[in-house]
Amino acid sequence: MPQSDGPTAFSWNLLADFQQMWSYPFMVNAFRAGAVVAVVAGAVGWFMVLRRQTFAGHTLSMVAFPGAAFATLVGMSLSLGYFGFCVAAALAIAGLRRDGQPGGAGESAATGVVQAFLLACGYLFMALYKGLLEGPQALLFGSFLGITGDQVLILAAVAIAVLAVLAVMGRQLLFASVDPQVAAGRGVRVRLLSTLFLVLLGAATAEAAQITGALLVFALMVLPAATAQQLTARPGRSLLLSVAIGLAVTWLGLLAAFYWPYPLGFFVSTFAFAAFLAAHAARALAGVRARQGRPALLGGAA
Amino acid sequence: MTELAVSAWGQPFFHNAVLAGTFIALAAGLVGYFLVLRAQIFTGDALSHVAFTGAMAALAGGYDLRLGLFVGCVAAGLLLAGIGRSGRADDVVIGSAFAWILGLGSFFLTLYTTSRSGAMGGAGTTVLFGSIFGLSTGQTLVAVLVAVAISAVVLLIARPLLFATVDESVAAARGVPVRVLGFGFLALVGACAGEATQAVGSLLLLGLLAAPAGAAIRLTDRPFRALALSGGLAVAELWAGLAASALIPSLPPSFAIMAAATAVYGATFLIRPQRAPLGTASPAAG
């Protein structure tokens, strides 16, 4: 027993702070889970931002909520609810998209309808459950308390699978994302890749939702990737940077949430957004200095 | 069951819900049509999150919830119009901004629930998922007036807005104030988001904006017919949802409305499966 009750105040001695936090097993689990989730979300999110599929990603993160609510209602494992619903929704979005290319009014209307309906389903499940759950807030805004060792194992296993698939198809996916037409001409199976990527996105979202809550997954998926793509134009480097930023933001968020009584999702999204703004400012500054700073990857249309 | 349903029809709260809901749905249907046409659904989505944060901030600060709703949504709409070039905002920027704004909303929610010691613990859920059956007579009146104003403005600017949407450069060359329209429209979307939050909640307002409009666009190619259809469908769906939740008390009204809207949208896929020519663009086949 390190302290009598509850966490003591934050001291600027980080070493002591981490020692104190990690004396609680649930915090160790939270940091492990946070690390796993941040790495997956950083990597998959990077491709999502590159492919401009933020709206689809957002819809998938919304789906995490009915997934968790349904799992609560029927009394099965939360992880199963998260992964089942997110992957199923990813397949549904892939099926609705007809010609395999993102964008378009029709698609975004469809995605929006699917999203709102699924959230409504989540609300229905919560209303039917009426149980001891203090409300949907923990599912929506995240909680780092009570993450078990088994959950961390499941998260890690799924993360390894997602990253392995991503590593195998990474090169082709990059090609197909940057220039789908040329990639298709070269024999890359753009449509298959697109579907596969949506499934990966679903899995990554389900992972992240368990930490940040369904509504704030987006902070962990989009912001590190967008920040990294602001800072460097080279794909490999910016992918790594995205993962690193995600990890830093999550751990800082956990640190802050341990010492202050506000939700984890708030801290994670705030830190990530601060990094995003800082990157924008840095780019603007560099742009002023060099008169014109263009990102080769996003700005250069083939 | 039936007794409860019969009694629900006669209750004042149900009358308020029908009255406010009708006009809110009409406004949402009209605004939603242009939102879908301009491919700005994502903006509507962002606004729905701002609605939550705005309402929670107002509650935490001790103000009327609706003040936060409207101020937050309209300001966010103008901001989004300002960020994006020529009034159309960029996906990643919107996504980033509202990810943080939602985080801020959860902060205000915690602030509110901890400072008011559980007096209104369900406030977060109310804002997120709406409570149309909880509207008072005064709130109904305000909601109706605002909704009527929004609908009137949309109809007033419908023609130039349509022109600017379909062909922006030609419209600009013809002297249509494209940029002002872009700003004005997003402010309107913001006001509409604030309205719709009272009916179905901030998380579900996207469905009220997107589903009737998406269905109308699938059903007809003629713009003004689609606009009217979108408004009509939205109102019909809301009525269907209210009736369903009055008949089955365990069904939350927000869910019933959303289910009706989704069913209609889904049905349009059966009626008219495909407008674009089949099989012309399948990149993998070549």
ipTM score of complex: 0.78
Contact across the interface for A270 and B217, Cβ inside 8 Å: no
Look at residue B116 in the predicted model and tell me its pLDDT.
60
Q: How high does pLDDT run on average in chain B? A: 79
Q: Which residues does chain B have within 8 Å of residue A92's beta carbon, measured at their own beta carbons?
A: none
Task: Kindly state whether residue B221 falls inside one of the protein's structural domains.
Answer: yes
Q: Are A242 and A225 in contact (CB under 8 A)?
A: yes
Q: How long is chain A?
A: 302
B284 domain-assigned:
no
- Enter the tokens of residue B227: 């606009």
Residues from chain A that touch B250, judged by Cβ atoms under 8 A, are 127-128
For A269, the enclosing helix (H) or strand (E) is helix A264-289
Give the angle A145-A150-A153 at the CA atoms, nearest 5°.
Answer: 105
A108·B36 Cβ contact <8 A: yes
Which residue has tokens 């997107």?
Answer: B210
d(CA A115, CA B231): 21
Question: Where do we find the tokens 């008390």?
Answer: B249
Which residue from A111, A123, A269 is facing B103, i.e. has the nearest CB?
A269
* Contact map slice: B 35-54 vs A, CB within 8 A: 36-39, 41-42, 44-45, 49
Q: Is position B277 within any domain?
A: no
What's the pLDDT band for B128 if we cut at 50, 70, 90?
Answer: confident
B47, B85, B96, best to mutate vs chain A, most A CBs in 10 Å: B96
- What pLDDT, on the 0 to 100 scale, is given for residue A244? 92
Quote the number of domains for chain B: 1
CATH of the domain at B178: 1.10.3470.10
Interface subset of B 147-186, CB within 8 angstroms of A: none
pLDDT band for position B98 (cuts 50, 70, 90): confident
Domains along the sequence of chain A with CATH? 24-299 (1.10.3470.10)
Q: What are phi and psi of B63, to 5 degrees?
A: -105, 175
Instruction: Determine the length of chain B.
Output: 286
What's the CA gap between B36 and A25, in Å, rounded? 49
Q: How many CB atoms neighbour CB A298 within 10 A? A: 15
**Residues in CB range of B180: below 8 A, 6 or more apart:** none
Give a yes or no: residue B149 inside a domain: yes
Residues (pLDDT < 70) of chain A are: 1-12, 96-107, 130-138, 291-302
Cβ neighbours of A109 in B, within 8 Å: 36, 41, 210-211, 213-214, 217
Partner A contacted by B34 (CB < 8 A): no
The continuous run of DSSP H or E covering A294 comes out as: none
What is the rounded CA–CA span in Å between residue A179 and residue A158?
29
| B35 Cβ contact partners less than 8 Å away, ≥ 6 residues apart | B41, B43, B44, B189, B209, B210, B213
B82–chain A Cβ distance below 8 A for any pair: no
d(C-alpha A265, C-alpha A253), whole Å: 8
Burial letters B233-271, b for 16+ CB under 10 A, else e: bbbbbbbbbbbbbbbeeebbbbbbbbbbbbebbeebeee
Contact A99, B285 (CB under 8 A): no
CA distance, residue A18 to nearest chain B CA (Å): 24
Inside any domain, residue B188: yes
pLDDT of residue A101: 47
Domain residues for the domain of B122 are 2-265
Q: Please report where in the chains the tokens 């009272």 appear, as a residue.
A: B198
Chain A residues close to B121, C-beta within 8 Å: 134-135
Query: Average pLDDT in the B65-79 region?
Result: 84
Query: Which of B37, B103, B109 has its CB closest to that of A219?
Result: B103
Residue B285: pLDDT band with limits 50, 70, 90: very low
Identify which of B95, B110, B258 has the shortest CB distance to residue A54.
Answer: B95
Give CA–CA dist A18/A273, Å, rounded.
Answer: 24
